[in-house]
A and B are shown apart, each in its own frame.
Chain A
Amino acid sequence: MRKIFAITGILIVAGLVLAACGGAATSAPSGSGETVTVKETVIVTVVAPASPAVVAPTGYGVTLETVKARGNLICGVNSQVPGFGYVDANGNFSGFDVDYCRALAAAIFGDPTKVEFRPVTAAERFTALQSGEIDILSRNTTWTLVRDTELGGNFVHTTFYDGQGMMVPADSGITTLQDLEGGTICVQTGTTTELNLADVMASLGVSYTPAVFEDADATFAAYSEGRCDAVTTDKSGLVSRRTVLADPAAHVILDVTMSKEPLGPMVRHGDDQWFDIAQWTVFALFAGEEFGITSANVDEVKASATAPEVKRLLGLEGDLGLKLGLTNDWAYNILKLVGNYEEVYNRNLGPDTPTYIPRGLNNLYINGGLLYAPPFR
């Protein structure tokens, strides 16, 4: 008998704790110790379903509040693509997408180190964002309609204009997609790449066998073992992964572009303030380059600024930062602590890096590219 009471007691306490956890921000289980009566438990458990449950924080302003209360930003990134998101042997993250997270942290906290990078795979990234495990997804993710609607997210803005490419061993003699007739192509699961490959090959009437893997490492490991005749992903990804192949010179990227791949950060539906902050962080990076403000000269520019828009951008005039729910020096912090778009680009993908990608479309509109920031006013 005593045993039954003991077990029931344990269950009741466990139920209470769980119910309290389920009941969102209700206080810690009061008196979850020894003096719990059955009556109390029943009340708590019955009430719990009605109270707001623990879900991803949504609603206007909730995300910023959560991030500020936590004291850091949790950013979902890639850890396997050098130049975009890569973790080195010492556990340091680097890359274009990673630097965007730092810029966002600089805008919020005035400190680019207040970011926790959480590596997510292509397959789990949207779930991680939906469930609130990460505050923002900055992981070379292609902007598509389905992802913008059904997957419960909003694309902030394109930060990198990309296109899907195909890499083959240099000695294979393959120069066009038609040459791949009957071949095997390595591709990563859960990507737009996987879908584009099927689309493009179907429209060209080329029959092929896909070999589909869970992450970039597995995909390129199989490719380098000769499992496939070709490997496909975004061109930027091919350039970057080629640098970590055993013999980079032995592989060529075909001169074909299979699709448009606008890559950019993504936030959850439901918090427009957070969306605005994320978007204007991108624009601040663009504007920095447009106005020639770099991390090196930002203090100088700030001291001598006369152009009204530059003054508004750096917080000398107006209260643009406050309107975003941040401090007025948010853009100054981004440019001072992380740099402008060009600096971020060159640091990760510039001519001095092994992952050099010519800027192409990723140039300011005044230089023939597509980067265009709306007015800061």
Chain B
Amino acid sequence: MQRETSQTTIPFWRDERVLKVLGQIAFVILVGLFFSVIFRNMMTGLAKQGITLSLGFLRGVSGFDIAETLFPYDRNSTYLQAYQIGLLNTLLVSVVGIFFATILGVVLGVARLSTNFIINRLAAFYLELIRNLSLLVFLIFWYLGVFLKLPKVKEAIIWTGNIFLSNRGVGIPWGIPTASFPTFRLILLFGFILALIVFFSLRAYSQRTGRAPLTLLWTLLTFLLVAAAGWILLPEKPLAIDLPRVQGLRLTGGKILTPEFMALTSGLTLYTAAFIGEVVRAGIQSVSKGQVEAARALGLNGFQTLRLVVFPQALRVIVPPLTSQYLNLIKNSSLAISVGYPDVFYVSNTIQNQTGRAVEMIGMVMLTYLAFSLITSLLMNWYNKKIKLVER
């Protein structure tokens, strides 16, 4: 007690609380000065060469073609449009990659814990092999070693009559919207709303009674039922199925997935899935054995134990590292340049090279990846907060 009262009299330069604050302020100033030096250095250097920073060049005509575009683009489009094409391509690869990597990762994680010796060993072999490869090497293997080794267009492997495998790409059947498609879209919207109603009423029911119905399953079934009903009842099918075929030098019809896209997505998916598999395994193993034994003692069956006891608890452990795997996948997609897939980094490289605007383009790309990663983090953190243990 005596010491505490005497503390009020010590001079501020020996007061730990004041010093801590001062230390932080000094640190911020130092960091600020450091970056201002770097920035001014760059500006001086650029000024010496008569280069000024501006984004006006983005409105200029690009003059180059891009192989894969999600919306119309040609050589008369602007650099900004070229950048947007790249942005969407990165987004596409990331979303597709995350979707499949998650499914495969969960399967691998569960398989790794299987009591079946062969499944268990196979999963372990896959995880250990893939996790210890370099992603760049892995991508180039998929590109040069797999997708470009497929036969030529004219000798394409035709799988079940509808899937074409060739070194110009993989052709799959694809739907083309017909006249009734707008109506079908409305039906889908209706199905979505109905599914939401089912979801929320089942959840309310669960909270009221303490029972645990298969909420997600019923929600999905509702949506699918409405969609199927719409598909069957509409006089004209909303989507005409277009099959791929060989025409001259190329595959046409259906949807042609280029070797670059296939190599990049399969490489990223299979690579990230291995890491997700380990995350899932760790999550499941983190649930103590007592929980499972208690669940079985209460009379829950194996599936119920997994769904109601193990998984909700495992998820708390899984989600944070899963988030960083998702971020890795997004950032790793910039390796697209090694297999010639026009993602945002690739396109920005081309723009930088044709215009000489290195600083601006690098800045834009950095901001783009930062934004992608922050948005993903935000979503995953929100989800994490929702599922985490509420302590009372």
Contacts and interface: CB of A to CB of B under 8 A. Distances in A.
A213 B340 contact: yes
A202 B61 CA distance: 14
B249 A195 contact: no
A38 B40 CA distance: 22
Nearest to A172: B249
A318 interface: no
A45 B33 contact: yes
B27 A225 contact: no
Contacts of B66: 210, 212
Interface in B36-51: 36-38, 40-42, 44-45, 48-51
Contacts of B26: 8, 38
A15 B30 contact: yes
A358 B19 CA distance: 77
A308 interface: no
B168 interface: yes
Contacts of B346: 189, 212
A123 B248 contact: no
A184 B33 CA distance: 52
A46 B33 contact: yes
B128 interface: no
B176 to A, nearest CB: 20
Given A55-B48, A194-B64, A150 B40 contact: no
Interface string A183-225: 1100001100011011101100000011111100010011001
Interface string A1-19: 1001000100110010011
A58 interface: yes
Interface string A111-130: 00000000000110011001
B358 interface: yes
A211 B260 contact: yes
Contacts of A152: 49-51, 356
Given A15-B30, A182-B247, A212 B350 contact: yes
Contacts of B16: 1
A111 B149 CA distance: 48
Contacts of A8: 23, 26-27
Nearest to B66: A210
A292 interface: no
Contact of A52 (B20, B44, B50, B51): B44
B350 A189 contact: yes
Contact of B148 (A147, A210, A226): A226
A198 B356 contact: no
Contacts of A218: 338, 340
Given A182-B249, A194-B350, A56 B45 contact: yes
B313 interface: no
A302 interface: no
B179 interface: no
Q: Which of B16, B37, B66, B167 has the most CB of A within 10 A?
A: B37
Interface in B331-348: 337-338, 340, 342, 346
A157 interface: no
A198 B41 contact: no
Interface in A77-132: 122-123, 126-127, 130
A277 interface: no
A58 B355 contact: no
Nearest to A4: B23
Given A184-B168, A190-B353, A130 B340 contact: no
A13 to B, nearest CB: 11
A66 to B, nearest CB: 15
Interface in B1-56: 16, 19-20, 23, 26-27, 30, 33-34, 36-38, 40-42, 44-45, 48-51
B248 to A, nearest CB: 5
Contacts of B51: 130, 152
Nearest to B259: A227
B338 to A, nearest CB: 7
Given A55-B41, A150-B356, A195-B64, A226 B340 contact: no
A8 B29 CA distance: 12
A151 interface: yes
A194 B82 CA distance: 14
A4 B148 contact: no
Contacts of B250: 182-184, 209
A199 B358 CA distance: 24
Interface string A42-60: 0001101100111110100
A11 B49 contact: no
Given A22-B41, A189-B350, A227-B259, A268 B49 contact: yes
8 contacts: A8-B23, A12-B30, A38-B26, A49-B37, A146-B355, A150-B356, A152-B356, A194-B64
Given A55-B48, A194-B350, A227-B168, 5 more contacts: A18-B37, A49-B37, A209-B67, A227-B167, A227-B259
5 A-B pairs with the lowest CB-CB distances in the bound complex, closest first: A55-B45, A190-B353, A53-B41, A151-B356, A198-B75
